[in-house]
Structure formats: C-alpha cells, structure tokens
Chains A and B, each alone.
Chain A
Amino acid sequence: MIGRGATVPGAVGLARPHERAAASISAPAGKALELQGLTKIYGSETVVDRFDTRIQAGEFFSLLGPSGSGKTTTLMMVAGFAAIDAGRLLVDGVDLAAVPPERRGFGMVFQNYAIFPHMDMFENVAFPLRARGMPKALVRERVAAALDLVQLGHLSDRYARQLSGGQQQRVAIARAIVFQPPVVLMDEPLGALDKNLRYDLQVEIKEIQRRLGMTVLYVTHDQEEAMNLSDRVAIMSRGRVEQIGAPRDVYERPANAFTARFLGEANLLPGAVVTSCPGRVAFQLRDGTVLHADDPSTRTAGTEGELFVRPEKLTLHPLADPPRDGVNRLSGTVRRASFLGSVVRYAVETGSGALVTADAPNVAAHHHPELGERVALAWSPADTVILPPDAA
C-alpha cells in the first residue's frame, strides 16, 4: 500500500514520497502512558472500572470490546475530554489530571474523520501547527511531508466534500501526526470504511506508527483489526478489562469465556478437572469423556470449568480411520456445514448433545464429510485451555 506513493507525479527521481516524508518528520520518541485504576462513573453506572495498565513508549495498544463496553470513555479520559472520577493517568510519570486537552499534546483521530469542512486539506493538516504558532515556512514543509506520508500530497487544495471517506481519514491521520505527538489516540478510525479499504489503511497506520515510533492508543470493536495492528490488546466488557495481552496470547489462551468468544469462534465444553499435575490437566466432560490440556498452573481436582479450543485446531477424520493416540478425541455426527471460502465450518453433535465447531481448510487433502456422517474429531492438548466457569 505504502509503495503506491511511487507513482505520484513529481516524485520521479526522488526518494519515494513517504521516505522523503519520514526524513522530514523526524521520529519523535513516543511516551509511556500509565493508567492507574482509571474509573469513570455516569450516574449509578460505572462505565470504566479501574483500568490498570502501563503502555510502553512506542507501543501500539488497542482497546477492544463490544459497543458500550467503555472504550470511547477510556479514550476520552486519556484525551482530557472526560474527567477522571478515580485513579490516575501518567505520561512518562507526570500526572495529567489537571492538564486541559489542548495542552496534553496528543494526536487524535475520530471515526467520522472530523475534517474541518471550511478548510482545504493543507489548512486542515496545518491546523495543529498554526495553533502552536509555528513559522509559516516550517508549516509548509511539515504539512507537505505529512501529506506525502499518507500519499495525498496531490490533494492538498481539496475540501472534505471532494474526498472519499478513506482519503479524509488519511488526512485526519496526517493532521494527527504532523506535530509529532508522542501519543496518538484513535477512536474506531476505520469503522466507517468498507472492508478492503479498512485493511489497506490498517497496513498504512501500522507502517506510519512503526516509522515514527509514537505510542498509539487505538479503539476498535473489530477483533481482526485489533489483532493485526496491536502489540497488545485490552479486551473490555461492560467497563471492565477482561484481559490484556499480545494478540496471539489472548486469542490462543483467553482468560475467560468472554474473551474466548469475542476474539473468534470458540468451543467451550463444560465439565470439571479430574487430575492436575504441573503442565497437564485432565478434564472430564459431562458425558464422561476425559480430555487433556497443557496448562502450566495446577488446579484442584473437582473444580468446575469449561474446556476451550478454537475450531481451526480441530481436525476431522472418518470414523474408520481414527487419529493417532496422544491427542484429544471426540466423535459425533455432522449436523451442519458452512462454506466460508478458505475454510468449511462443520457443526458436529457429540455424545453429550453439545455442538462442536470444527474448521477444515478448503483443500482436497482434507476429509470433508457429508451431513449426517459420523466423524472423529482430534486436537492437541497444547491447543486446549481450561477456563473458569462462564460467569455471564
């Protein structure tokens, strides 16, 4: 996506525009952002409940959660538009509670672009610089560099109504980084764009962030987007932080059923722990089947819970040709098959009556059973996690 800039007229013979841009916008050091028990209460409702984390300088940190989970409110407290009801917010160790938004020095990008309609793109991007009283010549240079960075240098005299949503959001990004903020806040910046464009812009945002080294606090309800972009993700639900971790960790080793379900399709089979020695838990389903999970913690026998495994970890086998030993196995009857393109998703009814979802890659080498066919399901204990009982 970034390479597209090479075709911009006038760029011939020079370095590619974004390389020029990156040279001129010297990498500002990102700053660490520390949220200590950050809390927001509206009326009787705790909208953000003791948010605790330390976001490293230069980290890409996402807030992920369904609508109404408190993501925007958290961002607004960080930006300074919502008062902090309890807890503290520190930037490189300095408390920000009494600092108004315009003096926090954060860049900000909104879902609806928030491009000033009465200014052309040049003036939009110049806005933060002019507000800081920067000399005209320097403004011109910085704005040109920032617009080059998002590959819109050729549209600097356009107005918002003459641009597509994707172009407007690129300008909004240029405007948010042109003054080299140590921290950039983004609230669902790609939420209003269609899928392909969303992916293109994710790549661009990530590239710009990597290049400039700023800290990004990013809000989204799209788990793929969060996983694609982030160094770490905080999964939120009803104001609470359910889990914080690297995308792969939270996806593969969710802390609870909510995270497991929110990040993608999840099989959650209720049962109880039978035995536990360090590294390996034996777990018995309600129908008596015993399955295993690689689990570093020891758990007391008899503890109720749910066994978690992602559908793509499961393989399907004809009953006549069962998988080898040393893996978790279940058998059942195929009840549904959904063709999703790269995979076929099967719903298999197991002995206990529970439906287990299994994804088979759409390649000829895989066994693709008929509806009603009896099959064996197999997966590794390494892909299995034992979760506490679903509180919800």
Chain B
Amino acid sequence: MGRDRTWLLLLPALGLLALLFLGPLAWFLARTLFVETAPAEVPALFVDVLTARSMQVAALTTLWVSVLVTLATLVIGYPIAFYLANRRGWRAALVVFCVIVPYFTSVIVRTYALTVVLGRSGLINELLGASGLVGAPLALLYNIFAIVVGMAYVLLPYMVLTLYATMKAIDPSLLRAGRALGASPLYLFRRVYFPLSVPGVVSGSLIVLILALGFFITPALIGGPGDVTVAMLIERAVEILIDWPSAAVMSVVLLTATLILFAIYARVTDLRRMMGA
C-alpha cells in the first residue's frame, strides 16, 4: 500500500484543478459569502435570491430547456449511435467524422453559424418561402426553439458517444441467441437490444442534462430577451449588477444541482458494471 506511488502521476492534473477551478471557486464563495456579507445575513440572502421571481423563472427556463435538449439529443442520437455500433466501413467513418468534427469547433462559431440557417432571411426561411409553404418568414431565432436547436447541436456528440459505448458493449451473441430462438428483429430490439442500451440512455441523458444546466453561450447568443437561464443570470449579477453575493448564491444552487445529477450519474455507471455491460 505505502509503496504504491502511482498517485503521484495525478499531481499535475490535481494541481491544475486546484489552481484553476477549486481555488478560485472557494475564494469567490468565501469572499462573497463570508467576508463581504455578515455571516448572520447569509441565510436571508439565500432566501432572497431563491424567492426572487427572476431566479425562479430562470430556474424553470433552464430546466425546461435542458430537458428539451436532452430529449432532442436522445431522439436524434439514438439512431446515429445504433448505426455506428452496427456498421463498419467508410460510411460509418464518415458519420463518426460528422458527429465528432463539430466537437472541435468553437461553440461560438457554431452558434453564429446557426443564425445563418435559422434567421429571418436564413436558409430555412428562404427555402420555405421559395416553396410557398409559408407566407411570412418563421421566427426560428431568438426563442426557446433556437436555444434547444443550438444546444442540442453542441451536445449531440456527448449523447452519441455515450450511447455508442454502451451499444458496442452489447454482446452480439445475445442478439444471435434471440434471433435463433424465434425473435423477429423488431421484437429482439424491444425485448433485448433496447433494454440493454438503457444504461447508455440514462448516462447519456444525465451527461447532456448536466452540461445543459450550466450552458451560457448558446442561450445568450440566440435566445430571446425573455429566455434567461440561471447561468445568464449569474453572468448578469457579476458583470452588470456587480452583485457578487447573489451571483455566489446562484452559483451554489447550480453547482449543487449539477453535483446531485453527477452523483446519480456515478451510481448509474456503477450499476452498468454490475449488469456486466
């Protein structure tokens, strides 16, 4: 035990984490909540922030957007992951490429790219107008729809890769056994393949949900004026209102929600191992 020094290899990473994440976070929270605020006022501050209408609306918006984004990535990602897990060759490579490459592009660039597609005179509205299907251009930008599309686009790779890993681990001989024993492909999917992919569905959804909760750039750039998420509220408190204590409280709330989801995620991943998947 005492001889095992391999943990030393983690030192640089731990140092970076402490220096850039834990340190500033702790400093920020301690300073705003315990130095700038009298300790006795902290509970009242929490109550104030949490009962403020702007916070409640933002929390609901954040949750609603995150759930929609999770569902969207799941519905779009499941067939993609299924295709990737069951095909080889250049077509699958091409799909992997298409899913992964946006991953390496700046979120801001990708989000602005969407305005070209979704704008009033964007690609979709031009096509719809030219085909005569709609009279006036649709409002596709600067609303919840735009936020969900933009975030789903950014978060899709996380869903696809998580699902893919789970699907790849499904033992093909189980599927063969199912077919041999009389199951049609559809029945086999319903009774065997899908249930075995559920752990991936759960962890993929949790990952996307966790990431979506803290999303800032996309809703800020292509959301409507009323679509304010918790992350945007925090940014406003810091940048515009210079109300650091409120920002700290909101950060604690968001961080707690994220950590709870992460704890669930960790449990689910453990369960997967127990299931032998």
The stretch of A106-114, A135-143, A360-368 that contacts the partner chain: A106-114
Given contacts A127-B191, A161-B274, A161-B276, contact A114 B182 (CB under 8 A): no
B residues 164-205 touching A (CB-CB < 8 Å): 171, 173-174, 176-184, 187, 191-192, 195-196
* Residue of B whose beta carbon sits closest to that of A132: B182
* Residue of A whose beta carbon sits closest to that of B175: A114
A110–B182 CB distance below 8 A: no
Per-residue CB contact flags for chain A residues 346-373 toward chain B (1 = under 8 Å, else 0) read 0000000000000000000000000000
* Residue of A whose beta carbon sits closest to that of B176: A81
* Residue of A whose beta carbon sits closest to that of B276: A117
A128 close to B (CB within 8 Å): yes
Per-residue CB contact flags for chain A residues 157-181 toward chain B (1 = under 8 Å, else 0) read 0001100000000001001100100
On chain A, which size bracket covers the interface? 20 to 34
Shortest CB–CB separation between residue A162 and chain B, in angstroms?
11
Q: Which residues of B contact A110 (CB under 8 A)?
A: 173, 176-177
* Residue of A whose beta carbon sits closest to that of B178: A127
Docked pose: A131 CA to B275 CA in angstroms: 23
Per-residue CB contact flags for chain B residues 140-177 toward chain A (1 = under 8 Å, else 0) read 00000000000000000000000000000001011011
B173–A102 CB distance below 8 A: no
B180–A118 CB distance below 8 A: no
Docked pose: A110 CA to B195 CA in angstroms: 21
A residues 119-137 touching B (CB-CB < 8 Å): 127-128, 130-132
* Residue of A whose beta carbon sits closest to that of B275: A117
Docked pose: A172 CA to B173 CA in angstroms: 12
B277 close to A (CB within 8 Å): yes
A388 close to B (CB within 8 Å): no
B181–A108 CB distance below 8 A: yes
A127–B195 CB distance below 8 A: no
Among A112, A118, A175, the residue within 8 A (CB) of B181 is: A175
Q: Which residues of A contact B182 (CB under 8 A)?
A: 102-103, 105, 128, 131-132, 179
A385 close to B (CB within 8 Å): no
Shortest CB–CB separation between residue A373 and chain B, in angstroms?
54
A101 close to B (CB within 8 Å): yes
A79 close to B (CB within 8 Å): yes
B173–A112 CB distance below 8 A: yes
A127–B181 CB distance below 8 A: yes
A131–B196 CB distance below 8 A: no
B276–A79 CB distance below 8 A: no
Shortest CB–CB separation between residue A279 and chain B, in angstroms?
49
* Residue of A whose beta carbon sits closest to that of B192: A116
Q: Which residues of A contact B179 (CB under 8 A)?
A: 81, 100-102
A residues 74-105 touching B (CB-CB < 8 Å): 79-81, 100-105
* Residue of A whose beta carbon sits closest to that of B277: A117
Docked pose: A194 CA to B163 CA in angstroms: 36
Q: Which residues of B contact A102 (CB under 8 A)?
A: 179-184
Q: Which residues of B contact A103 (CB under 8 A)?
A: 182
Docked pose: A338 CA to B160 CA in angstroms: 60
Q: Which residues of B contact A175 (CB under 8 A)?
A: 181
* Residue of A whose beta carbon sits closest to that of B172: A114
Shortest CB–CB separation between residue A170 and chain B, in angstroms?
15
Docked pose: A80 CA to B179 CA in angstroms: 10
Docked pose: A132 CA to B192 CA in angstroms: 15
Among A104, A114, A130, A160, the residue within 8 A (CB) of B177 is: A114
Docked pose: A50 CA to B176 CA in angstroms: 25
Specify which of A108, A110, A118 lies most central, judged by the most chain B CB atoms within 10 Å of its CB. Answer: A118
Docked pose: A386 CA to B34 CA in angstroms: 98
Docked pose: A96 CA to B105 CA in angstroms: 52
B183–A117 CB distance below 8 A: no
Docked pose: A130 CA to B191 CA in angstroms: 10
Shortest CB–CB separation between residue A237 and chain B, in angstroms?
25
Among B174, B184, B187, the residue within 8 A (CB) of A116 is: B174
Shortest CB–CB separation between residue B200 and chain A, in angstroms?
13
Per-residue CB contact flags for chain A residues 57-73 toward chain B (1 = under 8 Å, else 0) read 00000000000000000
Shortest CB–CB separation between residue B196 and chain A, in angstroms?
6
Q: Which residues of B contact A179 (CB under 8 A)?
A: 181-182
Shortest CB–CB separation between residue B177 and chain A, in angstroms?
4
A131–B173 CB distance below 8 A: no
Q: Which residues of B contact A117 (CB under 8 A)?
A: 174, 196, 275-277
Docked pose: A13 CA to B191 CA in angstroms: 38
Shortest CB–CB separation between residue A104 and chain B, in angstroms?
8
Q: Which residues of A contact B177 (CB under 8 A)?
A: 108, 110, 114, 116, 172
Docked pose: A107 CA to B276 CA in angstroms: 25
Docked pose: A180 CA to B118 CA in angstroms: 59
Docked pose: A79 CA to B176 CA in angstroms: 10
Q: Which residues of A contact B174 (CB under 8 A)?
A: 114, 116-117
Docked pose: A161 CA to B276 CA in angstroms: 8
* Residue of B whose beta carbon sits closest to that of A76: B176
A118–B178 CB distance below 8 A: no
Q: Which residues of B contact A108 (CB under 8 A)?
A: 176-177, 180-181
B residues 66-120 touching A (CB-CB < 8 Å): none
Given contacts A110-B173, A114-B171, A161-B276, contact A101 B180 (CB under 8 A): yes
Shortest CB–CB separation between residue B69 and chain A, in angstroms?
28
Docked pose: A104 CA to B173 CA in angstroms: 17
B277–A131 CB distance below 8 A: no
Q: Which residues of A contact B171 (CB under 8 A)?
A: 112, 114
Docked pose: A176 CA to B181 CA in angstroms: 7
Given contacts A101-B179, A110-B176, A128-B183, 13 further A-B contacts (CB under 8 A): A102-B179, A107-B180, A108-B176, A108-B180, A114-B174, A116-B174, A116-B192, A117-B196, A117-B277, A128-B181, A131-B178, A131-B181, A175-B181
Report A's interface with B, CB cutoff 8 A: 79-81, 100-108, 110, 112, 114, 116-118, 127-128, 130-132, 160-161, 172, 175-176, 179, 185
Interface pairs A-B: 3 shortest CB-CB: A108-B180, A114-B177, A128-B181
What are 11 A-B contacts with C-beta separation under 8 Å? A81-B176, A102-B181, A102-B182, A110-B176, A114-B171, A114-B174, A118-B275, A127-B178, A128-B182, A131-B191, A179-B182
Report B's interface with A, CB cutoff 8 A: 171, 173-174, 176-184, 187, 191-192, 195-196, 274-277
